[in-house]
Chains A and B, each alone.
Chain A
Amino acid sequence: MGNINNFAYVRPENVAQALDFLAENGSETRIIAGGTDLLVEMRQGTENFKYLLDIGNLSELRFFHTGQNGVEMGPLMTHSWLAESEEIQDIAPFLAQAAGHVGSVQIRNRGTVGGNIVTASPCADTVPPLIALDCKIKLQGVQESRWVSLKEFFTAPYETVLAPEEMLTAIAFPRLSGYRFGFVRLARRQAMAKARMSIAVALDLQGGTVKDARIATGSVLPTPQRIESAEKLLTNEVPNPELLKEASKQVAREMIEYSGRRWSTPYKEPVVATLTERALKKALGVN
């Protein structure tokens, strides 16, 4: 591989060893799991680290538990697993669907949900559904660990609150019983294309009334976000075509409010609204 910097390869035997290493060398270390993003970066020769810490074989980070309250899983679960797991398809079908859109079969077999989160790309496919699920992630250091809400994890594109000595060790979300889910992404084609924009929706519909609405966006704002002003428009209302349109337009308005009117706005404004409307309709099972 051309233009490569010198770095040392470190393969810890367990999470405790990995954390010890990070406590000493965290700021000079990159963690590698599946490597599907990192090797692209290394090929470009832009990487700048002294140590490569390979956590890919740590079985402690490859787990999945589900109970009445929800799901807890390890960061090494792959996109293929998420896409094909019957439990994920049952509990959070839109998460399975989003994971199934990542890259190609080859990428999904290696790429991990933890990597998708930590890399913090604005277009990470699994992140909007996870945010709609109110996902929390465990950031572990040698001394202490903390649970952080995923929607507060991202501070800017490719930037997060993860400290150099910390590592993502668990991903958890509650079981949203009775909710309906929708996920829509816009990309140039179905395979091997990054999402230009994506919308994940979770709706709790009781007796025809929306009791809880969650709308999470990818690549709409600088970081994946919930759009609360649009969610409020739907809450305690009976959905009708006008209401869905209005809530969808609100998502586009939030985008413009944040970013201002740009050269791309005449395109993005109606597209974001339409994607949201489609995601809401998918969740409601209407056309």
Chain B
Amino acid sequence: MVPITLQVNGQEVKAEIAIHERLLDFLRNELKLLGAKEGCGHGECGTCTVIMDGQVVNSCLILAVQAHGANITTIEGLGNTEELHPLQESFIEHGAVQCGYCTPGMILSAKNLLDKNPHPTRKEIQRSISGNLCRCTGYQKIVEAIEAVAEGRKGR
């Protein structure tokens, strides 16, 4: 077991972890943050996406020990049922959520884009979510939901 300290959604977390434990397992099993999910398990579907030190990453491709000292944001850090993040509201309004499995990853990829580039083109939006697979709504409504936030049609 190895000790790690990291920031998760603004809170300091100290833990003892197994060496082979992935960041995804740590978030889900130890911290009970169930927004990030395991889809493919090898970095192709993006449903395990979290923001690490200001950049989206696949938490299934990072060992928890590698996140020592890092600052992690998961979907749980964005909003809650009382106060939704503008992207969460917009996804609901645009019907950009169907089964919901990809949604946390999609929203985090979108947030990461808008943090860096508040007024992206449609192409840039598409590119920003190209590492996130959706198998039910299709991407049109998701792109529109992100576009609405970028254009200020949703308060940020």
Contacts and interface: CB of A to CB of B under 8 A. Distances in A.
A140 interface: no
Interface stretch (A100-108, A205-213, A219-227): A100-108
Interface string B3-44: 000000000000000011110010000000000000001111
Contacts of A43: 41-42
B66 A106 contact: no
Contacts of A4: 20
A4 B68 CA distance: 21
A282 B132 CA distance: 30
B131 A36 contact: no
A106 B131 contact: yes
A106 B41 contact: no
Contacts of B25: 1
A52 B56 contact: no
B49 A106 contact: yes
B58 A107 contact: yes
A192 B22 contact: no
A40 B19 contact: no
A123 to B, nearest CB: 15
Given A42-B20, A52-B19, A105 B62 contact: no
B42 A192 contact: no
Contacts of A40: 42-43, 61
Interface in A153-199: 190-192
Given A43-B41, A103-B131, A104-B130, A36 B61 contact: yes
Contacts of A11: 65, 68
Interface in B95-111: 109
A17 B60 CA distance: 28
A35 B65 contact: no
B114 interface: no
B66 to A, nearest CB: 6
Interface string A1-40: 1001001110100000000000000000000100110011
Nearest to A104: B131
Interface string B82-119: 00000000000000000000000000010010000000
Interface residues of B, number: 31
B63 interface: yes
B71 interface: no
Interface string A31-58: 0100110011011000000001010110
A42 B127 CA distance: 29
B63 A191 contact: no
Contacts of A106: 43, 46, 49, 56-58, 61, 109, 131
A80 interface: yes
A65 B62 CA distance: 28
A1 B43 contact: no
A43 to B, nearest CB: 6
Contacts of A32: 63, 66
A109 interface: yes
Interface of B: 2, 19-22, 25, 41-44, 46, 49, 55-58, 60-63, 65-66, 68-69, 109, 112, 127-128, 130-132
Interface of A: 1, 4, 7-9, 11, 32, 35-36, 39-40, 42-43, 52, 54, 56-57, 80, 103-107, 109-110, 190-192
Given A7-B19, A42-B20, 19 more contacts: A1-B22, A8-B19, A9-B19, A11-B65, A11-B68, A35-B62, A39-B42, A40-B42, A57-B69, A104-B43, A104-B131, A105-B112, A105-B130, A105-B131, A106-B56, A106-B131, A107-B131, A110-B58, A191-B127
